[in-house]
Structure 1
Amino acid sequence: MMDAIDRALIHALQLDGRAPYSRIGEVLGVSTQTVARRFNRLRAEAGLRVVGLPDPQAAGRSLWLVRLTAAPQVAQDLAAALSRRSDTSWIKLASGGTEIEAIVTSTPTDGSALLLNDIPRTTGITSVSAHYLLHMYVGGPTAWRGRAKSLTPAQAAVFRATATDRGPVKPLGASDGKLLAALAEDGRATHAELAGRTGWAPATVARRMEELQQSGAVYFDVDVDPVALGFTTSAMLWLSVPPAHLDAVGRALAEHDELGFVAATTGRTNLVTQALCASPDALHTYLTQRIGAIEHITAIETVPILRTVKAAAPFAPGALGLRL
């Protein structure tokens, strides 16, 4: 179980993923060594990782939320295989282990290979639906509010103040590929470590990192096991909302601490969220009292999540399976 310092550390990293241990320690009133020790323990025990990811719009990427169904054993192998791909993230086993839900990234140059070529040729899949993500209210650069409640406003302001103001988005080019790959594995890698991965001089790395962060072309996300934070029950909620009210409902849901993801999509259901609650009873209360109180939601499908196979990081350590 996490204590107040652990939770404050995660909150600080959510605000500034590259904040030095010394600054975090100063704000929390503990030593730099304590912060480093807590970070390493959470990394080992709760999967804590900071990852640097490109803003999809700046990178010219499209995001799809794909739902696949298959027999339970086939679904587990498929989820493991999908986790190995560089164009997937947030892979979840759901619905008793017969459904996979995953974010798939496509670019104009890859021709949406996974969606158009690889998935249709894979045996054992009984159904596929792909939902284009039109707008994210929570997710990506907009982090989950539920784990950002440990710092005082004054403490949080210190980390927000260290973030540089965003300017025009700097185009991401082919030359940034190695840098982005390194940041996706470790968003807290030093400039010297990034220089070793890219072949650039440390000064060049520092300059390019400043450009990408100032423009918002790269953001930093925090991976951590929700169960370690006390959220033991999770479900995807697929909602139907009349188009005239879609944005208002999306913005209202974005204020809910229980939701780690909220996005408008294409398809029969046009709004999808991920709920994270302390127990099944807490999920029931959330659905009946908070979701139920929002007007204009005409239908809801609740899909329980059994396990997250892959989060925002590019690979799921220990995930084994077939190549897809």
Structure 2
Amino acid sequence: MLDELDYLLVTALQVAPRADWQTIGDVLGLDASTVARRWARLTRAGHAWISVHPKAHTHAPSVVAFIEVDCTAGRLHEVAAEIAEDPHVFNLEHVSGGRDLLVTAVFTDQAELARYVGFRLGSLDGVASSRTQVATALHTEGSRWRLDRLTEEQRRRLAPTATAGVRPQGGRPLQGHDLELVRALSEDPRQPAARLADRTGLSPTTVRRRLDRLDAEHALVYRCEVARTLSGWPVSVSLWAAVPQSQAPHLAERISALREIRLCASLTGPHNLLLAGWLRSVDDIAPFESRLTERFPELTVSDRVLTLWPVKLGGHLLDPQGRHLRAVPLGPWDDPRSEAAEATLLDRLRTPPGPSRSAGVRGRLR
């Protein structure tokens, strides 16, 4: 179990993930060595971890998709283990209800999404079917969620530009030289500039200048996560809802401000809002949904699922208790087999059918 100091430390790193230990110790009233040892213990046990990734895709605009996957009997875990290694899959959850897996993935465009669903998932042994919706807007996501154990004054001391612990909006597509630095940083987001310089061939001064610029542009998203079962919010529930389209942006902004909400996304399709929240217990699911519909009577919840195992969260693989196992570096999807299968189909579509095939088709139509 975590104690109050652990929660304070995690909250501090959610607000300022690269702050030095001396600064964090001063804010928490401890010496730097104590907080450093605490963090090392938490990470070794998989109880907490930090990740970083570009806020904007390298090829704008990007497509964020939520894919529901149905698996054949006995194959769910094999399918999950296969999909979890895909670098563009951000989240992967084993869920209850009318689907087995819920995948959150990022694509360069709609054509790449179609290729992934049709040629990657569609040909994967153990996948029975899938359904896809695309996010038209992400109103809030997990990097903005906080344990909220710090005072406003403590947050201000850690990150003077942060407001209530929420990182500002912004971001731009990164170029190649920045991506190389971010890839090195992602392996350990708290590693010092000197180590990053050794790994990238840059000078420490250049590394610091580039990181300062990326932070000033809000081009990077840092996430300090804590194992869900130890967070005090052990239950994760996702809700599909419908709201009047004209009111969706306003309602989504208000819903995103709720304490429990970790994700609020506008979707294509009849259920145009997807919400994900962390709750104190399973018993809180019905009251939480009731509070939502009472506070926002325009909202109709059409379906709900409980996350049974968060297999992948923000590019990190987790055990059934939500503890950290290892990272799968986030990046663009590259699958030569799917590309070859798509090319074969395109060749077929380009070539008119021969006389025998055309006659066979006309015969079946009669």
Query: Does 2:48 match 1:48?
Result: yes
**Could you tell me which of 265, 268, 287 is aligned with 1:266?**
268
Query: Does 2:328 match 1:309?
Result: no
3-state SS of paired residue (1:56): coil
Query: Does 2:209 match 1:210?
Result: no
Alpha-carbon offset, residue 35 of structure 1: 0.6
Distance in 2, Cα, partners of 1:235 & 1:80:
22
Q: Is the 8 A contact 1:262 1:274 kept in 2?
A: yes
Specify the code of the residue in structure 2 equivalent to 1:4.
E
Show the 5 A alignment for 1:93-242: 93-95=94-96, 99-108=100-109, 111-112=112-113, 113-139=115-141, 143-145=144-146, 147=147, 149-161=148-160, 169=171, 171-242=173-244
Alpha-carbon offset, residue 181 of structure 1: 1.9
Structure 1 residues 314 and 304: CA distance shift in structure 2, 3 A? closer
Distance in 2, Cα, partners of 1:217 & 1:87:
18
Q: Is the 8 A contact 2:185 2:191 kept in 1?
A: yes
Q: Which residue of structure 1 aligns with residue 321 of structure 2?
A: none
Q: Which residue of structure 2 aligns with residue 70 of structure 1?
A: 71
Q: TM-score, normalised by structure 2?
A: 0.79
Structure 1 residues 92 and 265: CA distance shift in structure 2, 3 A? same
Q: Is the 8 A contact 1:64 1:103 kept in 2?
A: yes
Distance in 2, Cα, partners of 1:283 & 1:186:
35
Q: Is the 8 A contact 1:233 1:278 kept in 2?
A: yes
Specify the code of the residue in structure 2 equivalent to 1:81.
E
Distance in 1, Cα, partners of 2:302 & 2:19:
40
Distance in 1, Cα, partners of 2:283 & 2:223:
29
Alpha-carbon offset, residue 254 of structure 1: 1.0
Distance in 2, Cα, partners of 1:52 & 1:208:
15
Distance in 2, Cα, partners of 1:26 & 1:59:
41
Alpha-carbon offset, residue 279 of structure 1: 0.9
Distance in 2, Cα, partners of 1:177 & 1:58:
9
Q: Which residue of structure 1 aligns with residue 358 of structure 2?
A: none
After TM superposition, what 4+ stretches of structure 1 lie above 4 angstroms from structure 2? 165-171
3-state SS of paired residue (1:172): coil
Q: Which residue of structure 2 aligns with residue 257 of structure 1?
A: 259
Q: Is the 8 A contact 2:237 2:277 kept in 1?
A: yes
Specify the code of the residue in structure 1 equivalent to 2:217.
S
Specify the code of the residue in structure 2 equivalent to 1:68.
V
3-state SS of paired residue (1:69): strand
Q: Is the 8 A contact 1:88 1:314 kept in 2?
A: no
**Cα shift readout 1:247-268 (whole Å, capped 9, x = no counterpart):** 1221121121111111112122
Structure 1 residues 51 and 319: CA distance shift in structure 2, 3 A? closer
Structure 1 residues 97 and 30: CA distance shift in structure 2, 3 A? farther
- Name the structure, 1 or 2, with higher relative contact order (CA <8 Å, separation 6+): 1
Q: Is the 8 A contact 2:57 2:174 kept in 1?
A: no
Q: TM-score, normalised by structure 1?
A: 0.88
Q: Which residue of structure 1 aligns with residue 357 of structure 2?
A: none
Structure 1 residues 183 and 291: CA distance shift in structure 2, 3 A? farther
Distance in 2, Cα, partners of 1:186 & 1:264:
32
Alpha-carbon offset, residue 215 of structure 1: 0.6
3-state SS of paired residue (2:212): helix
3-state SS of paired residue (1:36): helix
Structure 1 residues 171 and 279: CA distance shift in structure 2, 3 A? closer
**Cα shift readout 1:70-121 (whole Å, capped 9, x = no counterpart):** 1353221111112112111111110169511121111259934533431122
Distance in 1, Cα, partners of 2:120 & 2:262:
29
Structure 1 residues 109 and 217: CA distance shift in structure 2, 3 A? farther
Q: Is the 8 A contact 2:265 2:273 kept in 1?
A: yes
**Cα shift readout 1:140-189 (whole Å, capped 9, x = no counterpart):** 65x114x1x210111111122166x9898554112333222223332212
Q: Is the 8 A contact 1:184 1:313 kept in 2?
A: no
3-state SS of paired residue (2:137): strand
Alpha-carbon offset, residue 225 of structure 1: 1.1
Q: Which residue of structure 1 aligns with residue 19 of structure 2?
A: 19
Specify the code of the residue in structure 2 equivalent to 1:161.
P
Structure 1 residues 208 and 170: CA distance shift in structure 2, 3 A? farther
Q: Is the 8 A contact 2:133 2:269 kept in 1?
A: yes
Alpha-carbon offset, residue 308 of structure 1: 0.7
Q: Is the 8 A contact 1:67 1:102 kept in 2?
A: yes
Q: Is the 8 A contact 2:76 2:100 kept in 1?
A: yes
Structure 1 residues 254 and 161: CA distance shift in structure 2, 3 A? same
Distance in 2, Cα, partners of 1:127 & 1:226:
29
Higher Cα radius of gyration: 2
Structure 1 residues 170 and 265: CA distance shift in structure 2, 3 A? closer
Distance in 2, Cα, partners of 1:166 & 1:94:
31
Distance in 1, Cα, partners of 2:253 & 2:270:
20
Q: Is the 8 A contact 1:66 1:129 kept in 2?
A: yes
3-state SS of paired residue (2:216): helix
